A and B are shown apart, each in its own frame.
Chain A
């Protein structure tokens, strides 16, 4: 008991020391040269518009961990889940906190899909875009016990069985997983039974238990089952192969998964992992967070996290990010209207 306390205090002492060193270094390198650079004056709320344990939540808690571990911020970062209404609760909360620089939000595709599908009064333009952190990939998975070795073999089997025979499991309804499923159906003429579940991890386990026939899980949601030899990856919904060449399973790496395009399934979809602030914040305040995330992305922990989840580590800020968002919003609008997912006005 006594020993515990002692080691805590010594750790605390070291933290102060390294923070002090960090501050001196920052001063020297001109970080403070801007003069009146803005800095948080109280703890920052990090809103996750999704439940605990999902992809966005994992990333937010991971970021919180990296910030604490490397002392990247003087104030603390507090992760808050506001998952109600497919994330609407979180978005409306940040929208309502205009001009509050002590609040940031991590987004997933529900940034576009939730307002379109439910008609809640929210648009991404109500927020201030800070940075695209990464893009999350989607992979077509089947159970390893099935005979399908390629995406083509699988779609042929789906077609041969007739409509409403094969079950596709996915996260949520009228969100990214179902959008991809509909896009596949449009291309191949197949018809799946789409079964919505609450979370990606649950979906992967349902596939291992053979309660569904295929999923479009993100890599990080299914990687452990893949490594255990329970699942087989058929193709990735991107126009190029993933860059990670290290072996993940005994014989395969992420880069061994072919793009779906080469399998006669031209579906290209990635999900945004981006950071936003409430509307009406100042440039200096945005700059602080861009700088913060630059530091986070420079840590070895972040690189390891990107590789484990096979993320597309493209980063965008400023106008480029806004341009990307505008384009992506239009794309979701058309994908969802084709699928009949738009809210009735």
Chain B
């Protein structure tokens, strides 16, 4: 058991009072960053990166520096769930799926339960992912190498397919929202031809539509407009302010171990490939809805609908660090910024890192265990506090949310144009909600649309236009088949039932 020895050595490296202190600082900063929509883990880590340059001179300092930064990352992952549940405003794209059941729970006065479930399942997902990193790192790195453009496209297809029929809206409305998302995702530079598309000569449109702006506008501003119309009456004001709620929720959670396990597997897989936390959370939610006995109630405030996406998102967010360390390709934007940090400290991520910098790698892995435990303790103690925010009258909290949303939209690219764009998206979000169109498919298509398109066209280039490339090997073939099964599951199952009769 060489890994266990290495890990124990890692704990010895990571467990100094200084590092534990940095861990706490990192987690708290991270939670704050995660709560502010738009600021996000990637920006937060980038802003604080220069702080660590002076630390990275010694091997021990390098470990401290990565602990500080990765704890900000864990904290931001935890924090993203808070505003999704309380205000229906996802702080990060991977928290969108958490709003589906988290927000209804908060409206029913169960904000404490929802937050506890979200935080705990985040912890479970991350923990399983760290276990996998500890014991399977070399194997997993090899698996990641098998992913070329057709495999990536198959994974995105699976995400989209498992999503259709997931929301309550009619399938055609879901498809319409998704198509709008694809259209928005197409704006900007086309990777494959190197040409600008749909920019109409506006320099502001060169960079395309950022999903963070869209998420803040569609959900945040849209929700506030809706609430204002309904008469300034904020639902869910009965948030209880007791620590007991944490323990009560914990008693419930073991019932859903199957969902947690499924979501963890999905999350680890998406983090490694690297599909990322956003598809993982949506896929986790969709799969849980299909398999759960209470699947029909999803969207009305089922605790399982909070557990599934949160577990998957965290498992993905954590395992996304593995391809960064072993291959040098970041699995998420935050991982990309961390990658920059490693380079500044004189560490070159890649296959040799595990061989040559054992102290650093195992110190980091040990800090993942410690950081997540520390993170869980920190965020759970804040549950009553955050749940109590809902008691503040809407007339006070709404302007605060508006200001935070505007700041969030501005920070993404430091551009005033984005703030106006956010307002436009807010109006669109309001109209969508009024007409009962689902917002999530739009966001999903905006986040993954251009990546799916790139992967598809790269595959077509490689195969010279033959679609059978999506069935050309067992791996891509089985993912594609699974995707098609997911898409046609509802009609198929009804046919099967009829045949049996």
Contacts and interface: CB of A to CB of B under 8 A. Distances in A.
Contact of A92 (B53, B54, B206, B328): B206
A297 interface: no
B461 interface: yes
Interface in B339-392: 339-341, 343-344, 346, 348-353
Nearest to B25: A4
Interface string A187-227: 00000011111110110111011010000000000011101
Interface string B35-49: 000000010001001
Nearest to A58: B343
A68 B458 contact: no
Contact of A196 (B49, B54, B327, B458): B458
Given A52-B336, A206-B148, A85 B18 contact: no
Given A173-B191, A211-B149, A61 B206 contact: no
Given A4-B25, A164-B464, A228-B352, A86 B189 contact: yes
A34 interface: no
B333 interface: yes
Interface in B182-202: 188-196, 199
Contact of B189 (A79, A84, A227, A228): A84
B414 A80 contact: yes
Interface residues of B, number: 59
Contacts of A230: 351
A69 B191 CA distance: 37
Nearest to B351: A228
A69 B350 contact: no
Interface in B454-469: 454, 458, 461-462, 464
Interface residues of A, number: 64
A227 B352 contact: yes
B337 interface: yes
B461 A85 contact: no
Contacts of B333: 52
Nearest to A122: B203
B24 interface: yes
Contacts of B346: 304
Given A61-B49, A68-B54, A175-B194, A85 B188 contact: yes
A209 B148 contact: yes
B343 A62 contact: yes
A341 B195 CA distance: 10
Interface in B320-343: 327-330, 333, 336-337, 339-341, 343
Nearest 10 CB-CB pairings of A with B: A224-B350, A84-B207, A173-B194, A211-B148, A85-B206, A174-B194, A228-B351, A65-B344, A209-B145, A4-B21
Interface of A: 1-4, 7, 11, 15, 51-53, 57-58, 61-62, 64-65, 68-69, 76, 79-80, 82-86, 88-89, 92, 117-118, 120, 164, 167, 172-175, 178, 193-199, 201-202, 204-206, 208-209, 211, 223-225, 227-228, 230, 304, 308, 341, 343
